């Protein structure tokens, strides 16, 4: 950060906040909901929205208007004088051109795969904040969109599996006999995995889980699942995350977890290392060992997949086993996913608003941590690294 740039205060007029309609294919979420609009308006912010932006999440223009939101037709008219823009997905190159110089943008940015967009935002003079880079500290929990969306994904993964499995999840005692409960294995017990465990338990399945961070053992057990302990060294890294594992470690892990995979009716994989390709946990051979009719949901599909056979955005069948690689799972639950995401986004925006004006304090861990572009430059070291690594 350049000296003298630590504090940035924008004009004292009411901050104008705008939310355009998402344009990415299959994106049904929206970054503003009527509740968060009310909260922003109460903080002295002027709130506008592109007409129809809530439709995918089942929120009508009417509901926004009742909350005091100004509806604008078309993104160009909406964005031309917006001080802050709230979005779900990173803008396209065309959308970047609609942002005014000096505007603040809050959205997912995926700096690792969207290097060109990040560069375009810098060039345009936009101050962009990436939701992925909000530090995982307790003060920022209310802004943690990765967690809120991971919860939605973990929940939905179980429902997708249950919808495809030719078995009941719970044990059933019927006049026609007793049915054994389904066996669910969750690999990766972070936010998504824990939500998947809780959901599968609520549906009555027998659940076991594995994670390379043994710190999650008690959380897994408190949800009524069995924590699988493998004779492997824990892979705890910085900030509560897993560290990147060696191929040798992953090879051993696959060998040891194989028998658990083979016994499962449903496997849900959620394993991730921040900023890296997802680790390979389930090989094609391991899938061969599963009973026909079993279902795998790979929540890491978009970052390379935890399962060798996964195809992002598709369902694959191999030897009677279905491997679900749905992209953007949170968007398939657009109402609640938007509600939670909009709260995260509004909290981050309000973090930047002091006395009715956008005030950027680059000494602040949250502001500094997730600001990616400012003053014409890419200012975030993590973003710079991931853009460098990808290009």
What residues line the site for ligand NAD (CB under 6 A)?
Answer: 136-138, 141, 144, 146-147, 150, 187-193, 210-213, 240-242, 245, 253, 270-274, 279, 281
Contact 236, 213 (CB under 8 A): yes
Rg (CA), the chain: 22
Contact 324, 315 (CB under 8 A): yes
What separation in angstroms does the CA of 355 have from each of 13, 256, 294, 351? 11, 57, 56, 11
The nearest distance, CB 22 to ligand NAD, in angstroms, is: 23
Contact 279, 308 (CB under 8 A): no
The nearest distance, CB 281 to ligand NAD, in angstroms, is: 6
Nearest Cα neighbor of 200 from 265, 241, 155 is 155
Nearer to ligand NAD, 270 or 380 (CB): 270
Nearer to ligand NAD, 196 or 353 (CB): 196
Contact 309, 290 (CB under 8 A): no
The nearest distance, CB 276 to ligand NAD, in angstroms, is: 9
The nearest distance, CB 202 to ligand NAD, in angstroms, is: 20
Nearer to ligand NAD, 272 or 307 (CB): 272
Please identify the residue of the shown chain whose CB is closest to the bound ligand NAD: 190
Nearest Cα neighbor of 36 from 348, 332, 330 is 348
d(CA 199, CA 206): 11
From 35, 100, 202, 241, the catalytic residue: 241
Q: Is 241 a catalytic residue?
A: yes
Contact 140, 239 (CB under 8 A): no
Q: Is 26 a catalytic residue?
A: no
Tokens standing for residue 32: 């503003």
Pairing mode of beta strands 183-187, 172-174: unpaired
From 110, 114, 144, 155, the catalytic residue: 144
Nearest Cα neighbor of 242 from 270, 279, 273 is 273
From 11, 60, 141, 221, the catalytic residue: 141
Nearer to ligand NAD, 274 or 304 (CB): 274
From 136, 201, 202, 213, the catalytic residue: 136
d(CA 145, CA 87): 12
Coil, helix or strand at residue 122:
helix
Q: Is 136 a catalytic residue?
A: yes
Nearer to ligand NAD, 18 or 189 (CB): 189
The nearest distance, CB 337 to ligand NAD, in angstroms, is: 16
The nearest distance, CB 141 to ligand NAD, in angstroms, is: 4
Place of tokens 């350049």: 2
From 61, 100, 147, 276, the catalytic residue: 147
Contact 226, 203 (CB under 8 A): no
Tokens standing for residue 160: 């997708």
Nearer to ligand NAD, 54 or 154 (CB): 154
Where in the sequence numbering do the catalytic residues fall?
136, 141, 144, 147, 241
């Amino acid at each position: 950060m350049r000296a003298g740039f630590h504090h940035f205060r924008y004009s004292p007029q009411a901050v104008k906040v705008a939310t355009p309609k998402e344009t990415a294919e299959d994106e049904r979420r929206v970054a503003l909901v009527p509740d968060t609009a009310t909260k922003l308006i109460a903080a002295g912010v002027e709130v506008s929205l592109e007409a129809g932006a809530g439709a995918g999440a089942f929120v009508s223009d009417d509901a926004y208007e009742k909350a005091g939101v100004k509806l604008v037709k078309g993104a160009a008219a909406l964005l031309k004088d917006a001080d802050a823009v709230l979005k779900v997905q990173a803008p396209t190159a065309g959308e970047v051109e609609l942002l005014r110089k000096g505007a603040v943008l809050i959205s997912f940015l995926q700096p690792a795969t969207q290097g060109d967009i990040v560069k375009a935002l810098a060039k345009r003079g936009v101050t962009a904040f990436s939701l992925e880079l909000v530090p995982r500290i307790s003060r920022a929990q209310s802004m943690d969109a990765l967690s809120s969306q991971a919860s939605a994904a973990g929940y939905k993964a179980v429902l997708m599996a249950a919808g495809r499995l030719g078995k009941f999840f719970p044990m059933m005692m019927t006049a026609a006999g007793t049915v054994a409960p389904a066996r669910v294995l969750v690999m990766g017990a972070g936010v998504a995995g824990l939500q998947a465990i809780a959901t599968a338990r609520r549906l009555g399945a027998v659940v076991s889980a594995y994670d390379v961070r043994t710190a999650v053992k008690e959380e897994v057990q408190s949800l009524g699942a069995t924590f699988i302990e493998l004779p492997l060294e824990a892979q705890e890294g910085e900030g509560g995350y897993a560290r990147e594992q060696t191929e040798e470690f992953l090879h051993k892990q696959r060998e040891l977890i194989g028998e658990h995979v083979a016994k499962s009716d449903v496997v849900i994989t959620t394993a991730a290392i921040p900023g890296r390709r997802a680790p390979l946990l389930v090989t094609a051979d391991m899938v061969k060992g599963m009973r026909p009719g079993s279902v795998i949901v790979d929540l890491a599909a978009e970052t390379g997949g935890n399962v060798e056979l996964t195809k992002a955005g598709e369902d694959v069948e191999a030897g009677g086993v279905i491997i679900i690689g749905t992209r953007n799972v949170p968007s398939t639950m657009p109402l609640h996913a938007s509600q939670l995401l909009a709260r995260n986004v509004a909290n981050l925006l309000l973090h930047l608003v002091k006395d009715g004006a956008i005030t950027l304090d680059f000494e602040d861990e949250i502001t500094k941590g997730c600001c990616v572009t400012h003053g014409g430059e890419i200012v975030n070291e993590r973003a710079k690294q991931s853009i460098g690594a990808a290009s």
